[in-house]
């Protein structure tokens, strides 16, 4: 933490300029109570914020431009200008130019996080199609940050008020999922979930449910062998080590009957298996957290929402919650450091 303030310094990347990123950032930060909890540092452009501020009729939304690296105003919204060129903003339209700006914002925030000027980051939504390039050969933020921070592996962890869902596989085609479900990968992701629940959410003895890959969790081998040959052996092995790991459960009935409420975390085998249920139950308050990194990173659980961009209709609920969760996890980690 910055010795001049006991508040976390949280970098906020602006995301794609033609999406809803700037809008939900502005709306979230209009709540002045947030400034009592952390020091926000928006990585983007004062011109972009002015454009959306004017469009939304929020002229009272004020901010301070950062002149020197790490020199923030702790009772103000800080803005770091990440480019000098004039970028045309066309809300709702995919653009290589705005994707490049989003990348500049992300790289600058990551650089200053690694240099110790920030305590964590919240990333605004990007357009993965226009962002994908030689300069960004990744499927999304999670893969990029995992490599950038040298973590080897991480866990995409969706966090709601009463629900935490982690993924064994993330952004891969459905046809390739079974080849990625191995004992080693399943155990690693479950262990990352347990570690995060302890370290980031201060749950001393977390109880974790694991979902099956196939319909009805394989029906004892009738509908697939992965549960019998891979998932169950991993769960049983972890149980012998004193871990509270249960499953594999059929995914449909698990959420439909409310079993998710009995567990501190749920490990899903693939993206839509976990996220369809999560977004149905926690869309307004849910956020994405990258567990297993040496730094704290959260994001809202929605994309650029081009269909809403520029219309002042986007809800800032998930962005605000991403800021709250980042702040809480940073403080939890700091508390553990002090206790050690």
With cut-offs at 50, 70 and 90, classify the pLDDT of residue 4. Answer: very low
pLDDT digits (tens, 9 = 90+) for 60-88: 899 999 999 999 998 899 999 999 988 99
Residues 6+ apart with CB under 8 A from 287: 158, 159, 160, 298, 299, 300, 301, 318, 321, 322, 325
Contact 89, 48 (CB under 8 A): yes
Kindly indicate the confidence band of residue 3, based on its pLDDT and cuts at 50, 70 and 90.
very low
What is the predicted pLDDT for the residue at 336?
77
Cα 66 to Cα 42: distance, rounded to the nearest angstrom: 10
pTM, full prediction: 0.93
> What's the gap between Cα 180 and its chain centre?
22
Pair type for strands 207-211 and 244-249: parallel
Cα four-point dihedral sign 12, 21, 144, 263: positive
Q: How confident is the model at residue 338 (pLDDT cuts 50, 70, 90)?
A: low
Question: Any idea what DSSP says for residue 259?
Answer: G
**Tens digits of per-residue pLDDT, 190-230?**
999 999 999 999 999 999 999 999 999 888 888 889 999 99
Nearest-5° angle of CA 28, CA 31, CA 34?
A: 90
What are the structural domains, with CATH classification, of the chain? 1-151+293-340 (3.40.718.10), 153-292 (3.40.718.10)
């Amino acid at each position: 933490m910055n010795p001049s303030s006991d508040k976390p310094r949280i970098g906020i990347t602006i995301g794609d300029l033609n999406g809803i990123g700037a809008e939900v950032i502005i709306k979230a930060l209009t709540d002045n109570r947030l400034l009592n909890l952390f020091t926000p540092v928006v990585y983007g452009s004062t011109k972009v914020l002015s454009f959306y501020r004017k469009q939304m009729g929020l002229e009272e939304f004020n901010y301070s431009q950062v002149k020197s690296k790490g020199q923030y105003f702790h009772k103000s919204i800080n803005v770091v200008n990440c480019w000098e060129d004039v970028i045309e903003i066309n809300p709702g339209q995919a653009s290589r130019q705005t994707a490049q700006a989003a990348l500049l914002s992300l790289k600058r925030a990551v650089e200053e996080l690694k240099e110790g000027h920030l305590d964590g980051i919240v990333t605004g939504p990007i357009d993965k199609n226009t962002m994908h390039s030689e300069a960004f050969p990744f499927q999304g933020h999670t893969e990029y940050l995992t490599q950038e921070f040298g973590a080897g592996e991480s866990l995409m962890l969706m966090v709601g008020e009463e629900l935490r869902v982690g993924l064994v596989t993330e952004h891969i085609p459905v046809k390739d999922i079974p080849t990625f479900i191995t004992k080693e990968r399943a155990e690693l992701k479950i262990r990352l979930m347990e570690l995060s629940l302890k370290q980031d959410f201060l749950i001393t003895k977390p109880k974790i449910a694991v979902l099956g890959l196939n319909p009805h969790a394989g029906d004892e081998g009738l509908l697939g062998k992965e549960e019998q040959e891979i998932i169950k052996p991993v769960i049983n092995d972890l149980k012998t080590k004193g871990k509270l790991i249960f499953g594999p459960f059929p995914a449909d009935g698990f959420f439909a009957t409310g079993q998710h409420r009995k567990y501190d975390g749920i490990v899903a085998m693939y993206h839509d298996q976990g996220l369809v249920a999560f977004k149905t139950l926690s869309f307004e308050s849910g956020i994405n957290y990258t567990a297993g990194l040496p730094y704290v990173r959260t994001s809202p659980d929605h994309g650029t929402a081009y269909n809403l961009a520029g219309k002042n209709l986007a809800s800032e609920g998930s962005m605000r919650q991403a800021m709250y969760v980042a702040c809480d996890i940073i403080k939890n980690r700091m508390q553990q450091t002090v206790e050690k």
